[in-house]
Structure 1
Amino acid sequence: MKKITLLFITILLTQFSYSQGCPVPVITQWNMTNDGIDFNGTNDASVVGYELEYSSTTFTPGDGTATVYQFDSFPHTLSGLAAGTYYFAMRSDCGGGNFSDYIPSNDSPAQYTTSSCESLYSLPYSNDFEDFDAWQACNAYFDSDGDNNYWNNANFDSDGDGIADNRYAASYSWLNGTILFPDNWVIFGPIDLTNVNDAELTWKAMGGDPNWCSENYSVYIGTEPTVSNLLGSAVSFNETFPPGTPGPGGVSPEPGCGLFAERSLDISAMVGNEVYIGFRHHNVSDMFVLLVDDLAVTSESLGVQDIEQALMNYFYDDVTKAVTINSSNAPLSEIIVYNMLGQVVSEKTTTKSSETIDMSTFGKGVYIIKAFSELGTKTMRVINY
Structure 2
Amino acid sequence: MKKFTFLFLMFAIVFTSYGQSRYESSIAVVKKQKETFKAIKATNTASVAKSISAVEDTLYNDGGLSTAIGAGGGDLAVFTEFQAADLAPFIGKEGLEIKIGLNDAAEITALEILVYTDTNIVGGAMPIHYQTVPTWVDGWNTYVLAPSFTIDGTPLFVGYNVTYNAGGYPAGCDAGPVNIQGNWLYYGGWAHLNDLSASLTGNWNIRLNVGSALTCPQPYDVAASNITTTSADIAWTTGGAAAWNLQYGVSGFVLGAGTTIVATNPKTLTGLTQNTDYDVYVQDDCGGEQSAWSFVYTFTTAADCPVPSALNVTNITPSSCDLGWTTGGAEFWNVEYGVAGFTLGTGTNELALSNPWPVAGLVAGNYEFYVQDFCGTGTSDWVGPFAFTIPNCLPADQCEYVFDLRDSYGDGWNNATLTVTESGVAVATIELADGSAGQQLVALCDAKAIEVIYNKGDWDSEVGFTITDPFGTELYTIDDCDAITEGQVVSSFTSACTPPTCAAPTALAATTTQTTASLSWTIGDVETAWNVAYDEAGFDIGTATPVAVTATTYPVSGLTAGTAYEFYVQADCGGDVSAWVGPFAFSTPCADVTAFPYTEDFEDAAAWQACWSNMTGTLADGTDMADGGSWFAVDSTSFTNQGADYIYSGLGSVGIGYSAPDFQWLVSPSIVIPATPAYDLKFWLHTESSVADSWISLFYVKVYADGVWTEEFAHTDGTNNLFETQVVVDLTAYANKTVKLGFVFEYNDGYELSLDDVVVDQVVGVNNTTSESIRIYPNPTNGMVNITNANNSTINVYNMIGEVVATVNATDNFNTIDLSNLSQGSYIVKVVAGDNVITKKINLMK
TM-score, length basis structure 2: 0.32
Deviation, 1:194, is 0.9
Question: Residue 135 of structure 1 aligns to a residue in which SS?
Answer: helix
The answer (yes or no) to whether the contact 2:765–2:837 under 8 Å persists in 1 is no
Which residue in 2 is equivalent to 1:81?
559
Deviation, 1:10, is 9.3
Which residue in 2 is equivalent to 1:381?
840
1:275 has 2:748 as partner:
no
Q: 1:348 aligns with which of 797, 808, 812?
A: 808
Q: 1:2 aligns with which of 1, 4, 7?
A: 4
Residues 206-252 of structure 1 show CA distances to partners (whole Å, capped at 9, x for unaligned) of: 3579759744332212335xxxx242x3x522334738xxxxxxxxx
Q: Distance in 1 between matches of 2:580 and 2:717?
A: 44
Task: Tell me whether 310-319 or 291-300 shows the greater mean CA deviation.
Answer: 310-319
Residues 18-58 of structure 1 show CA distances to partners (whole Å, capped at 9, x for unaligned) of: 5555677799x999865356999xx99x999x998544695
Which residue in 2 is equivalent to 1:239?
715
Map 1:54-73 → 2, pairs under 5 A: 54-55=534-535, 58-60=538-540, 62-63=541-542, 65=544, 67=546
| Residue 202 to residue 16, structure 1, CA distance change in 2 (3 Å) | farther
| Residue 155 to residue 185, structure 1, CA distance change in 2 (3 Å) | closer
Who wins on radius of gyration, i.e. which is larger? 2
Q: Distance in 2 between matches of 1:365 and 1:31?
A: 35
Residues 278-301 of structure 1 show CA distances to partners (whole Å, capped at 9, x for unaligned) of: 22334457x676432111123336
Q: Distance in 2 between matches of 1:260 and 1:91?
A: 52
1:314 has 2:793 as partner:
no
The answer (yes or no) to whether the contact 1:307–1:376 under 8 Å persists in 2 is no
The amino acid across from 1:337 in the alignment is V
Q: Distance in 1 between matches of 2:682 and 2:665?
A: 20
The answer (yes or no) to whether the contact 1:55–1:66 under 8 Å persists in 2 is no
Aligned residues: 335
| Residue 333 to residue 77, structure 1, CA distance change in 2 (3 Å) | farther
The amino acid across from 1:353 in the alignment is N
The answer (yes or no) to whether the contact 2:536–2:566 under 8 Å persists in 1 is no
1:326 has 2:811 as partner:
no
The amino acid across from 2:836 in the alignment is T
1:219 has 2:705 as partner:
no
The answer (yes or no) to whether the contact 1:183–1:282 under 8 Å persists in 2 is yes
Any unmatched runs of 5+ in structure 1?
A: 105-109, 244-253
The amino acid across from 1:255 in the alignment is N
Q: Distance in 2 between matches of 1:357 and 1:366?
A: 15
Q: Distance in 2 between matches of 1:236 and 1:342?
A: 25
Question: Residue 733 of structure 2 aligns to a residue in which SS?
Answer: helix
Q: Distance in 2 between matches of 1:180 and 1:92?
A: 38
The answer (yes or no) to whether the contact 1:33–1:137 under 8 Å persists in 2 is no
Residues 162-213 of structure 1 show CA distances to partners (whole Å, capped at 9, x for unaligned) of: xxx8232345654xxxx665543413331323111x3332212335797597
1:129 has 2:633 as partner:
no
Q: Distance in 1 between matches of 2:570 and 2:658?
A: 28
The amino acid across from 2:741 in the alignment is I
Q: Distance in 2 between matches of 1:156 and 1:10?
A: 15
Q: Distance in 2 between matches of 1:84 and 1:270?
A: 24
Task: Tell me whether 30-39 or 306-315 shows the greater mean CA deviation.
Answer: 30-39
| Residue 36 to residue 300, structure 1, CA distance change in 2 (3 Å) | same
Q: Distance in 1 between matches of 2:547 and 2:688?
A: 40
Which residue in 1 is equivalent to 2:215?
none
The answer (yes or no) to whether the contact 2:532–2:567 under 8 Å persists in 1 is yes
Question: Residue 714 of structure 2 aligns to a residue in which SS?
Answer: strand
The answer (yes or no) to whether the contact 2:616–2:629 under 8 Å persists in 1 is yes
Deviation, 1:336, is 0.7
| Residue 39 to residue 98, structure 1, CA distance change in 2 (3 Å) | closer
Map 1:336-375 → 2, pairs under 5 A: 336-363=796-823, 366-373=826-833
Any unmatched runs of 5+ in structure 2?
A: 6-456, 480-508, 619-624, 637-642
Which residue in 2 is equivalent to 1:156?
635
| Residue 39 to residue 263, structure 1, CA distance change in 2 (3 Å) | farther
Residues 348-382 of structure 1 show CA distances to partners (whole Å, capped at 9, x for unaligned) of: 23422221223344455543322234x55331212
Which residue in 1 is equivalent to 2:515?
35
Q: 1:295 aligns with which of 758, 761, 769?
A: 758
Q: Distance in 1 between matches of 2:756 and 2:728?
A: 13
| Residue 128 to residue 223, structure 1, CA distance change in 2 (3 Å) | same
The answer (yes or no) to whether the contact 2:699–2:746 under 8 Å persists in 1 is yes
Which residue in 2 is equivalent to 1:169?
654
TM-score, length basis structure 1: 0.62
Q: CA RMSD in A?
A: 5.4
1:188 has 2:674 as partner:
no
The amino acid across from 1:190 in the alignment is I
Q: Distance in 1 between matches of 2:463 and 2:592?
A: 28
Question: Residue 670 of structure 2 aligns to a residue in which SS?
Answer: strand
The answer (yes or no) to whether the contact 2:698–2:746 under 8 Å persists in 1 is yes
| Residue 131 to residue 92, structure 1, CA distance change in 2 (3 Å) | farther
Deviation, 1:327, is 1.7
| Residue 125 to residue 238, structure 1, CA distance change in 2 (3 Å) | same
The answer (yes or no) to whether the contact 2:615–2:666 under 8 Å persists in 1 is yes
The amino acid across from 1:341 in the alignment is I
The answer (yes or no) to whether the contact 2:703–2:712 under 8 Å persists in 1 is yes
> RCO higher in 1 or 2 (8 Å CA, sep ≥ 6)?
1
The answer (yes or no) to whether the contact 1:13–1:103 under 8 Å persists in 2 is no
Q: 1:206 aligns with which of 686, 690, 693?
A: 686
The answer (yes or no) to whether the contact 1:2–1:288 under 8 Å persists in 2 is no
| Residue 138 to residue 293, structure 1, CA distance change in 2 (3 Å) | same
The amino acid across from 1:168 in the alignment is S
| Residue 297 to residue 84, structure 1, CA distance change in 2 (3 Å) | closer
| Residue 173 to residue 47, structure 1, CA distance change in 2 (3 Å) | farther
The answer (yes or no) to whether the contact 1:54–1:68 under 8 Å persists in 2 is no
| Residue 84 to residue 2, structure 1, CA distance change in 2 (3 Å) | closer
